[in-house]
Structure 1
Amino acid sequence: MIKTYDLWINGEHTKPASGKYFDVLNPLDDSLYCKAAESNQTDINKAVDAAHACFSSYRKCLAKDREAMLTKAADLLERDREEFLEILIDEVGSPINKAQFEVTQTIGQLRAAAGSARRITGQTMPSDTPGRLSMSVRKPLGVVAAITPFNVPLLKAAKLVASPLATGNTVVLLTSEEAPAVSFRFAKLIEEAGFPAGSLNVVSGFGVDVGDFLTDHPLVKAVMFTGSSVVGKHISEICGRNMKPCVLELGGKSPYIVLADADLGLAVQNAIIGMFFYQGQACIASSRIIVEAAVYDQFVEMYSAAAKQLSMGDLHEMSTILGPIISPRQRNRVRTHIEDAVSKGATLITGGEWEGNRCQPTILTNVTEDMIVCRQETFGPVTSIYSVDNAEEALALANDTHYGLSGAIHTNDLNKALSLAHEVETGMIHINAPSVYDEPHVPFGGIGDSGFGREGVDVDIDALTQWKWITIQMPGYDQAH
């Protein structure tokens, strides 16, 4: 039976004001997976009002109680792991290994956020006035708008909801139109964990219709967004106009540097993970592989051989690496990038063909500036390999992009690796490891077109609270100075 999801507002299933529902398709075969409510401005107002009303009391919730509820949410997700795995497989085409990774990371995210509730601390400071106690405290902002993508919808829901709740804020979550079911299920988990009605509200629909209204809403005090650079820049303009803080985690064209002294077996293994995890639908995917000339031919041969072995089988099998591309629009983007590159002279080392809605792992060489794939994010299982003469050229090529999210460096010379790590212009860099990596407490994010600000339970405290300076003048002191 096909499920229908209403909006989740003020702790209740709420029908959309328009009465409209849209189809959510299983990307494996484009069959109908569920129907979800199509929200409009009336629904957004209702959700924001509920979050704002809840904030007046929730902001006073004790740290120990926020900690307990987030800990319980993690325990509930452990209990319901299999249900969430099935949603991720069927709704967004996650191979089981990716779905397992996402659920495990989400559990860690909830537990890390639980711990951060007790770390919202201020400070006392010396005063220039005798007898004056000077201190600073942190206060929650209010209603936070969280906007999540399709590729890791559960993990991003947890990232963009748990930290606001841990810091005393309330949330309106706008899901990706391609992945609403997992967010609605997550909202029920948050309710079962004990969070009050209105603390988390979930709306589904189309960002083009309601996204601006949500981010521009006067009662929304901060925006957390994960998605494309184009939309992120637009949100930044809205927030800047309203003097509203935002955290933007956007696209990437991540460099993967392999130097001549690298362990090529390890480099190939990590490049497979870094590029083809969730069929390349990751902002931190290794879409530009930069190899020192002395080992270029050998690397290309080893890497293409490994890519050809990747399974496109049953999504429930742990051996399956490549699942379907999420939507017809995204499939067309992937096809266009490949066809444009080949038509302009790129060499197709392997891949480029489709099996249903799945694209074979695709490796290109001889990619030039006039090709779309050279500069733009493909968001599919397509990578380009470049040859350079030395580490200096590798660095220059790695930095020749408007993006700056993640990256990787492979070499046995750790001194050289650390030097390059400081010089590669990305928010994150991994040495002798894949570019695809995350932990809940680290400052996750990028520079340039890859975003603004950082995610992570420690840095979230800064992003989601504001300082207030308080002084107390003790009686009996001469204030002259």
Structure 2
Amino acid sequence: MTQLEHWIGGGAVAASNGAYFDDLNPVDDSVYSRVPAGTADDVNRAVETAYQAYLKHRDLPAAVREGWIAKAAEIMERDTAKFADVLVDEIGSPIAKAGFETRFAVSFLRAAIGVPRRIRGETIPSDTLGRFSMSLRQPVGVVAGITPFNVPLIKGIKQSAMALATGNAFVLLPSESAPMIADLLAKLWKEAGVPDGLFNVVYGNGAEIGDVLTGHPKVASITFTGSSRVGKHIAEIAARNLKKYTLELGGKSPLVICADADLDKAVNAALFSIFMYQGQVCMGASRIYVERSIFDKFAEAFAAATSRAKSGELREPTTMLGPIISERQRDRVRRHIDDARAKGAEVLAGGEWDGNCCSATVLRGVTSEMTVFEEETFGPVTSLYPFDSLEEALELANNTEYGLSASIFTRDLDKALAFAQRAEAGMVHINAPTLHDEPHVPFGGTKASGFGREGTEADLEIMTEWKWVTMQSATAGAGGH
């Protein structure tokens, strides 16, 4: 068992109140690490340290920051096995999903190497004779990042790499269920040459210290991944204090399968879309709409494939399903399944438990009075619904407060493009799973699924701000409008 400490100013710092909590391995709820229960004092110290480091290093050349990111990519590639082990043991990632995270982290770092040289402005024609006018992008100062338990490496790398690449300092508050990855990131950035104080980590309960971090007067920008409820709360704090922010929140993502779809590909995409990492993914296809003429055929094929989805040893490459992260989340998954059963839904596959693992579950006949109809389960549970036309499929797909990802399977290009244009989602995939991400794309959702976008291009909006600068000869007249 490891005992963590806060990472502030380039080194380990003990909890100010001496209090620690247990980080549990979700396979059997054994203690994996001991973690400091951060306080407002710890947060204030981290932010003040970050701000002073930002003032000291804000004018470093782009080549220096580029060097940190390039070195971090080398270290990340060297240490992928170490990061994967933590993802398996701390958050119950099957090794295939842990491998996806580590590969994405390396890819994101490589994509971010060029960011320091892309922080550009432009020259602007002036209405005043003899005046030179231009715009600059400058770092905002201190960026606060809050990461989730399900993809702590992907989000930790995304947030911190972009903050550092754009000349900012960074303070990370990781999920209390996934603190160890943050410790590895601190050591990665230290080895990569990032000056002390530019990357900091405070551990603790987000409900207790999150507002201290997001509301701190020296935090200029916030990037958060988590629930829609907490995201709305953070948005209120940011709005009151006029801070920049990006929110990547929950989802109830629809997967639409038309009668002309390649059935085998649609079944495989549906399996991956909802059961990867036991459904604990915001882009999970928890609503699958199938054209009525092939509904029974798809339901039979999908239920059969689902019954073969393997759980068990997390380091076995063919394992798809691992444990649900916590007892609170297990209760939520059980409640959704039991409520649907009690109100008449048919369980086509799954619905059973083995320890902390829930089998891949497919429901049919879900109606609006069932909890699972509207709420995000965040577990290996999906529901099948029939539709008769593309218009109906769109209406059903858009009938949710969420709008993160959506997917359609069809050979009809007109249908595909119509769906892509009219689906109320931040991301739409054609003949592909709902679950996909790449470093350089504008990743994010609409409605209750988020605000703003992530990515090596999109993040410039919250990591930098525009400044307008004009110059006129000291000997020229002070012209005006």
User: Paired residue for 1:289?
Assistant: 288
- Structure 2 distance, partners of 1:410, 1:65, is 46
Q: Secondary structure at the match of 1:220?
A: coil
Structure 1 spans left out of the alignment, 5+ residues: none
Segments ≥4 residues shifted beyond 6 Å: none
Q: Secondary structure at the match of 1:326?
A: coil
- 2:382 matches 1:399: no
- The answer to which of 51-60 and 280-289 deviates more is 51-60
Count of residue pairs brought into register by the alignment: 480
Q: How does 1:207-226 map to 2 (within 5 A)?
A: 207-226=206-225
User: Paired residue for 1:377?
Assistant: 376
After superposition, the Cα gap between the structure-2 partners of 1:17 and 1:430, relative to the gap in structure 1 and judged at 3 Å, is: same
- Structure 1 distance, partners of 2:397, 2:300, is 22
| RMSD of Structure 2 on Structure 1 (CA) | 0.9
Q: How does 1:179-190 map to 2 (within 5 A)?
A: 179-190=178-189
Q: Which amino acid aligns with 1:366?
A: G
User: Paired residue for 1:43?
Assistant: 42
After superposition, the Cα gap between the structure-2 partners of 1:369 and 1:122, relative to the gap in structure 1 and judged at 3 Å, is: same
Q: CA deviation at 1:474?
A: 2.4
User: Paired residue for 2:407?
Assistant: 408
- Structure 2 distance, partners of 1:470, 1:371, is 58
CA contact (8 A) 1:9 1:201 kept: yes
User: Paired residue for 2:200?
Assistant: 201
User: Paired residue for 1:125?
Assistant: 124
Q: Deviations over 1:52-109 (max 9, x none)?
A: 0000022111111111111110110111111111000000000000000000001111
Q: Deviations over 1:278-308 (max 9, x none)?
A: 0000000000001110110011001010010
User: Paired residue for 2:464?
Assistant: 465
Structure 2 spans left out of the alignment, 5+ residues: none
Output the TM-score relative to the length of structure 1: 0.99
- Structure 2 distance, partners of 1:266, 1:413, is 15
User: Paired residue for 1:427?
Assistant: 426
Q: CA deviation at 1:313?
A: 2.1
- Structure 2 distance, partners of 1:396, 1:253, is 14
- Structure 2 distance, partners of 1:395, 1:370, is 21
User: Paired residue for 2:54?
Assistant: 55
CA contact (8 A) 1:52 1:143 kept: yes
Q: CA deviation at 1:476?
A: 5.1
User: Paired residue for 2:31?
Assistant: 32
User: Paired residue for 1:144?
Assistant: 143
Q: Which amino acid aligns with 1:310?
A: A
- Structure 1 distance, partners of 2:10, 2:168, is 16
- Structure 1 distance, partners of 2:428, 2:203, is 34
User: Paired residue for 1:176?
Assistant: 175
User: Paired residue for 2:438?
Assistant: 439
Output the TM-score relative to the length of structure 2: 0.99
Q: Deviations over 1:133-157 (max 9, x none)?
A: 0000011001111000000001110
Q: Deviations over 1:375-420 (max 9, x none)?
A: 0000000000100111111000000000000011000112210111
CA contact (8 A) 1:133 1:474 kept: no
User: Paired residue for 1:335?
Assistant: 334
- Structure 1 distance, partners of 2:138, 2:89, is 40
Q: Secondary structure at the match of 1:234?
A: helix
Q: Which amino acid aligns with 1:381?
A: P
Q: Secondary structure at the match of 2:101?
A: helix
Q: CA deviation at 1:245?
A: 1.0
Q: How does 1:14-33 map to 2 (within 5 A)?
A: 14-33=13-32
Q: Which amino acid aligns with 1:356?
A: G
- Structure 2 distance, partners of 1:317, 1:390, is 42
User: Paired residue for 1:105?
Assistant: 104
Q: Which amino acid aligns with 2:201?
A: V
Q: Deviations over 1:20-61 (max 9, x none)?
A: 111001001111111111100010011001100000022111
CA contact (8 A) 1:130 1:477 kept: no
- Structure 2 distance, partners of 1:185, 1:36, is 14
Q: Which amino acid aligns with 1:377?
A: E
- Structure 2 distance, partners of 1:480, 1:404, is 48
Q: Which amino acid aligns with 2:278?
A: Q
Q: Deviations over 1:340-368 (max 9, x none)?
A: 11111111111110011100000001111
User: Paired residue for 1:311?
Assistant: 310
